[in-house]
Structure 1
Amino acid sequence: LMVGFGLFMSSMHLGKPKRFYRGFNNWRHSPVCREGLGIAAFMGALGLHILFSLPENSLLQSLDTALLGGAMTEILSPSLMTNLANVFGWLAVPSALAGLYYMNRCYRIKARPFWNHWQVVTSFFGNMLSLGALVSGVVIVTTLTLMKADCSSAVMLSGLLMFIGVTAESVGLMAHSRAMNSATHEGAASHFVQCTTFGKTYYCRNVLQGLNLLLMMGLLVFSGDSLLALVGWSVAGLLLLVTSVVGRALFYVLVIPTTMPGAFFWKNKGFEQHARDIGLAEMPQVGVIPNAH
């Protein structure tokens, strides 16, 4: 459901909703189209995996026995259904990776220097691991707890994936900061705004992310299957959600495009006056008429 909602919103924001299909009709050249194709293939394969896994579900088997006298099991070969479920499950994995890769390619363009860095890869794939592990872990651990089964392995595996994902994202952020500090394009301007106007938000996110890494490292090394460990992982999950939301907001808010002269200032008198006040209007490529006097 979450993936479907994301694909829907991605399609709708590209323009008029009735023209959404235009985002899917250039698979040969457009990474946006390939992203949509990958995600759609993932959703289809995952849906079929779930469908063919249903005959193995104990609740469904009980209903089949009680209501149909086991007729469904006789009609549908359990071994065939299991094999089909496995096939579509494995097909879903490369489809998801392909969709995520082309999602990254959508942002790696020269017209957006702030995004044109391999940090986008570590961010997207890191979020896939960390947030994916968080959501899966909540569902799996809750289910195992209700079944009164041991959930320690699920907690540790989910925690390890969260740690790997946050580590990958942190490495990318450090490299991105160094690259933007030494750059001379619009990406450097975006990073300057990030460190000044949004400095408190930026540094707070970095500190929280660093603390979360230390917390998860400690939980992986020292925690067992106690209630205290579960509380610790819950705190780590909340910190992950906060830093992810803030990081995604900074990612979109701060980008400055390289575009045609004056386009950044069109229909915005405040921007035009600001350009005059700071001397930016003296540059012809800005496209703003400087003060006559």
Structure 2
Amino acid sequence: TSEMSRVNAAAADGPVSMDPRLFEILDRSRQICIDTEGGFDPSSGPLIALWRESRLAGRLPTQQEIDDCLQHTGIDQFLFDQDAKTIQYKSPENELNLGGIGKGYALDLAGQFLKSEEQENWLFYGGFSSILATGTHKELPGWPVGIKNPLFTSQRLGTILLQDCAMSTSGSSVQHFRHQGQRYGHILDPRTGWPVSELLSVTVIAPDAALADALSTAFYVIGIEKALEYCEKHTQVGTILIPPPAQGRKLSPVIRGIPNEFLFLDRDQLLSQ
């Protein structure tokens, strides 16, 4: 947003005030970054730009270029004043962006408006990265939303019923590139600066779309063990984590925090549990 650009341009010179809603979502991004041990990081824009420019040039970034970017990323480079609602950057090279959470937050604001109008049953679809649903759909106890097979994205792996919650899916099955025969996904680990590839896809169910948005990226980065630890601490969050199958084997999703009566998977596509 232009407001975000203004903050990025000025905050290295001193504390900058902003629209209260912008401060709210930036501060929430900061907290999610802390809670996910840096798996989600709103300061990783320079890394994303470096990889985009390198890809367009037909090369990988050098480790030195990545290290230079990492000098200016990390949430500890930003000073949040909760009382004054201001942010100050430590360096002119710092920047914050809402790329990993902004679409979900926009859905949440739209949902708040519908609730204020006493609309009880609705679903907002912002692509698979952001879905927000409230109430029920016809005779069902929730809104049915398909879950894609990350190996064959035209196939549906199953259906989940969303009721008063949000869903977000992250993966690199669609956005990726190849360099010298090696496949690189578009999701970067903000802590190392390199793409991550441990999982095929991550689906997160959370109370609001901003959180689901951020956590689907974070879980993809931090991997199965850390994602499950997060869900144990935050019981309102559920997840479907899909690791790559062994050669010739079927998918074996790791599922936490999603009741069986709301999740219907195509067992023919899954490894017997």
TM-score bracket for the superposition, by shorter chain length: under 0.3
Q: Which has the higher strand share?
A: 2
Q: Which has the higher helix share?
A: 1
Who wins on radius of gyration, i.e. which is larger?
1
Tell me which of the two structures has the higher relative contact order, counting C-alpha pairs closer than 8 angstroms and 6 or more residues apart.
Answer: 2
**TM-score calculated relative to the size of structure 2:** 0.26
